[in-house]
């Protein structure tokens, strides 16, 4: 069972005829994802990897019953594409684009919440249930790193995700559902909002969170653990611990303001809530085994 995408999820790809959309469509199909349609205005009647292309999301949904969408569109068009998908009734949306204007991202998040939908991203690698389906840009060698199993992973990072997941796999574990929330300053879905889904998922026995300095999302997870919203074992790695104090580092989400968002503060909050925090990616799997074994 997945918390977001299943084998029978009917996936639509917006921007399918572009260079990124067409390239990743091949890989998304290759893992077994049920892609039922693509959308690019003005390209109706074409096919990409034998997937029919439509002019509008509404028509694609009417003819294929698509219920999830992954967007390969430029940042300036992301908001309109999300709104079009929401208007057509789609409740699961993944936005790959990096650098979406902050006000657009805020409007996307607000619209998703009002529609009871979940928008993941932007600036994300996407989501994957290994061996089942994916909506994103995970590399072609994905099957060698992402094995099926019962460890959930949620992450703000791209490259760190592959490294930490490899360490989890090396200890004999596998992945149930991986959710990349994205690295922009305003993610459309925050870490803590995934916790109830992982808590209810019988296939997820424990959770690994890959965080970074900046923002308060990791502290929100600690608060949810202390409130009993999430009760399963949790191990975290927080990137950015060597960043010089007072400096803005990395992408838009990695900004420390007003004394909040430091790695030290996140580690303290998580450990107080009962999580284990790795001081380097290579020990994440070992800590997970230690926590699960009591």
Q: Catalytic residue positions?
A: 251
Helix, strand, coil shares, percent, the chain, to 5: 35, 25, 40
In whole angstroms, how far apart are CA 126 and each of 11, 46, 198, 214, 254?
13, 25, 17, 21, 19
User: Going edge to edge, which strands form the sheet with 175-180?
Assistant: 133-136, 126-129, 175-180, 148-155, 206-212, 234-239, 276-278
Are 125 and 137 contacting, i.e. CB atoms less than 8 angstroms apart?
yes
Rg value, the chain, Cα: 19
C-alpha span between 92 and 177 (Å, rounded): 15
Under 8 Å CB-to-CB from 159, ≥6 apart: which residues?
none
Q: Report the SS3 class of residue 134.
A: strand
C-alpha span between 124 and 137 (Å, rounded): 8
Between strands 51-54 and 47-48, the pairing is: antiparallel
Burial group, residue 70, by CB count within 10 angstroms (0-12, 13-18, 19+): buried
Are 112 and 119 contacting, i.e. CB atoms less than 8 angstroms apart?
yes
Are 122 and 100 contacting, i.e. CB atoms less than 8 angstroms apart?
yes
């Amino acid at each position: 069972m997945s918390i977001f995408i299943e084998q029978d999820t009917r996936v639509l790809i917006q921007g399918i005829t572009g260079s990124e959309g067409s390239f990743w469509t091949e890989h998304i199909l290759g893992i077994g994802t049920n892609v039922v349609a693509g959308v690019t205005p003005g390209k109706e009647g074409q096919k990409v990897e034998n997937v029919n292309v439509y002019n509008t999301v509404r028509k694609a949904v009417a003819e294929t019953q698509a219920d999830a969408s992954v967007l390969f569109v430029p940042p300036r068009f992301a908001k309109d594409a999300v709104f079009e998908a929401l208007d057509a009734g789609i409740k699961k949306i993944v936005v790959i684009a990096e650098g979406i204007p902050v006000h657009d991202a805020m409007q996307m998040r607000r619209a998703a919440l009002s529609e009871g939908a979940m928008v993941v991203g932007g600036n994300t690698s996407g989501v994957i249930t290994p061996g089942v389906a994916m909506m994103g840009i995970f590399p072609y060698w994905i099957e060698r790193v992402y094995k099926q199993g019962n460890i959930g992973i949620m992450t703000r990072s791209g490259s760190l995700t592959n490294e930490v997941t490899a360490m989890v796999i090396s200890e004999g574990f596998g992945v149930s559902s991986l959710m990349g929330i994205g690295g922009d300053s305003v993610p459309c879905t925050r870490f803590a909002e995934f916790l109830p889904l992982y808590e209810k998922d019988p296939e997820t026995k424990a959770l690994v969170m890959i965080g970074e300095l900046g923002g308060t999302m990791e502290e929100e997870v600690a608060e949810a653990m202390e409130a009993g919203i999430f009760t399963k074992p949790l191990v975290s790695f927080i990137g950015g611990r060597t960043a010089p104090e007072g400096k803005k580092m990395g992408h838009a989400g990695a900004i420390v303001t007003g004394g909040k968002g430091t790695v030290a503060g996140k580690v303290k909050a998580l450990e107080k809530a009962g999580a284990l925090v790795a001081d380097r990616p290579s020990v994440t799997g070992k800590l997970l085994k230690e926590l699960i074994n009591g």
